[in-house]
Structure 1
Amino acid sequence: MTEQHKPTTATEIEDVQNIKDKRHIAIDKVGIKDIRHPVVVSDRTTGEQHTVANFNMYVNLPHEFKGTHMSRFVEILNQHEREITVQSFHTMLGEMTERLDAQSGYIEMSFPYFVNKEAPVSKVRSLMDYQVSFVGEIIQGKTSMTVKVVVPVTSLCPCSKNISDYGAHNQRSHVTLTVKTDSFIWIEDLIDLVEDEASCQIYGLLKRPDEKYVTEHAYDNPKFVEDMVRDVAARLNADKRIQAYTVESENFESIHNHSAYALITNGF
């Protein structure tokens, strides 16, 4: 074999990422975004639930390094195979910052979570999906964890009910709850907390008696968007598991071409 066609060995391949960068500008977050991976999450009813999550994984990059090792993010993810849970977040964050020589790390895991709900009158069961995110961050060895859940509900306008001879306009609303906790909390606990404060819950499948129930229940429990966030915040203030929270409500108005929105944050 001629010198010209001699194969290059792994030890001869230059590690471009480790080349010194001369611009003296550090990067706050660098990594991979929107990679899908199977996960197992705790389920209050069945013990565990298998789903598929989208991951964002980042670390900081000091000014002297040209780039980070992107392949190591995927390696860390795959080393855990399918055994990724809330509890394993601390381990993954530690591995990520250690293997990439970083001072800070960030992992976001977003996935659909399914609850088998029973209709209020007919008791027929159907799956209802909620969008959930676990976010873990480590800075200088200190780890924090937040859980975010988007809960669709029905809201009925108190003003419309008050001024109308019959009926009142209602709409589907998304209540987004983000909480920081230092102890375990069920995803269903957060969902229940929000749904209990709505004009009415939303269900995947309803029979005619159920439709009558949810229509009348919403009418009996009118809520402005302001009422919604205040009522949820009051419940969170009384829950000792919650260290900090943000609660948002967006009403997709049925009589306007815009949404109504409110937000309360505490502790962040």
Structure 2
Amino acid sequence: MSHPETMNEETINELPDTQGSADTRNLAIDQVGIKDINHPIVVTSRSGQEQHTVANFNMYVALPHNFKGTHMSRFVEILNNHEYEITIDSFKRMISEMVETLDAESGHIEMSFPYFIEKAAPATGVKSLLDYEVTFIGQIQDNGKPQVLVRIIVPVTSLCPCSKGISDYGAHNQRSHITITVKTNGFIWIEDLIEMVEAEGSCELYGLLKRPDEKWVTERAYDNPKFVEDIVRDVAVQFNRDDRIAGYTVESENFESIHNHSAYAKIIKDKKSK
């Protein structure tokens, strides 16, 4: 059985470029590209250690009205040609490279990955890992400079002040997800953002707890009750005080333990707008 010969560059150039052909419907496309592709990355932690993980990418560009399609394979080439180590600066370079390679005026990349932090239990000091969902969101608009937002989902415990106030003993609590989306002034560690957020829950979470630790976190939450409104306001106060943060969105969803619905609150602020 014969096998097709490897094509040289000249042969490839002779093949028809259907995606690059003209389109007559006069409709531009806001975002076109690839979605849900996994790729290995390396992220450097605050301690200086390298963390190897796998990121899920969405990559899009704007398509002018006169082009039939974009070249999907080029998105994958950009990922495979790029260095594995990811920082804010290297992520910005990836966005610029994508827009330039695809000859687009604007582009958008989302890179989501699990990020692990080693934590010591509060009473016994036993160490374990806790995972957080981190997303870098980058975009270029109208041939401008690349901008990057950092989104992190931080799980915490919240205990209801109303339940504590009306009950003779006990109070209902639940796990809550605090989602922050931050625009920074310069560099800030992922760990710094997570620690600011965890401090504003009724109690932070740990991967491993012994009995003395479980007693500690139960009593800590009971002594520190928070409504969902309290959580987003307290995180916002922290961010307002930090000059490294230029703008933010803070969301909290409390997965209620006595209802079949969640409680939710959200604050959006651009610190440059007074």
Using structure 1 for the length normalisation, give the TM-score: 0.95
Structure-2 separation of matches of 1:35 and 1:264: 31
Structure-2 separation of matches of 1:99 and 1:50: 27
Structure-2 separation of matches of 1:229 and 1:203: 21
Gaps spanning 5+ residues in structure 1: where? 1-6
Structure-2 separation of matches of 1:217 and 1:85: 35
1:192-203 pair list within 5 angstroms: 192-203=195-206
Structure-2 separation of matches of 1:201 and 1:210: 12
Q: Which amino acid is the alignment partner of residue 42 of structure 1?
A: T
1:137 is the counterpart of 2:152: no
1:253 is the counterpart of 2:256: yes
- What secondary structure does 2:89 align onto? coil
How many Å apart are 1:33 and its aligned residue? 0.6
Out of 114, 117, 124, the residue aligned to residue 116 of structure 2 is: 114
1:53-92 pair list within 5 angstroms: 53-92=55-94
How many Å apart are 1:11 and its aligned residue? 3.3
Task: Tell me if the contact between 1:39 and 1:85 (Cα under 8 Å) persists in the aligned partners.
Answer: no
- What secondary structure does 2:205 align onto? coil
Task: Tell me if the contact between 2:185 and 2:243 (Cα under 8 Å) persists in the aligned partners.
Answer: no
Percent of aligned positions that are identical? 69
Out of 17, 28, 33, the residue aligned to residue 31 of structure 1 is: 33
Out of 21, 24, 31, the residue aligned to residue 23 of structure 2 is: 21
Out of 197, 207, 210, the residue aligned to residue 210 of structure 2 is: 207
How many Å apart are 1:81 and its aligned residue? 4.1
Q: Which amino acid is the alignment partner of residue 232 of structure 1?
A: V
Q: Where does residue 188 of structure 2 map in the other structure? A: 185
Q: Where does residue 176 of structure 1 map in the other structure? A: 179
- What secondary structure does 2:204 align onto? coil
Q: How many residues align?
A: 262
Task: Tell me if the contact between 1:42 and 1:186 (Cα under 8 Å) persists in the aligned partners.
Answer: no
Structure-2 separation of matches of 1:261 and 1:199: 16
- What secondary structure does 1:78 align onto? helix
RMSD over aligned Cα, in angstroms? 1.4
1:216 is the counterpart of 2:219: yes
Q: Which amino acid is the alignment partner of residue 108 of structure 2?
A: Y
Q: Where does residue 238 of structure 2 map in the other structure? A: 235
Using structure 2 for the length normalisation, give the TM-score: 0.93
Structure-1 separation of matches of 2:86 and 2:215: 42
1:160 is the counterpart of 2:157: no
Q: Where does residue 270 of structure 2 map in the other structure? A: 267
Q: Where does residue 3 of structure 1 map in the other structure? A: none
Gaps spanning 5+ residues in structure 2: where? 1-6
Deviates more, 1:216-225 or 1:89-98: 89-98
How many Å apart are 1:156 and its aligned residue? 0.3
- What secondary structure does 1:111 align onto? strand
Structure-2 separation of matches of 1:85 and 1:75: 19
How many Å apart are 1:182 and its aligned residue? 2.9
How many Å apart are 1:94 and its aligned residue? 1.2
Q: Which amino acid is the alignment partner of residue 200 of structure 2?
A: E
Q: Where does residue 3 of structure 2 map in the other structure? A: none
Deviates more, 1:209-218 or 1:41-50: 41-50
Out of 14, 30, 42, the residue aligned to residue 40 of structure 1 is: 42
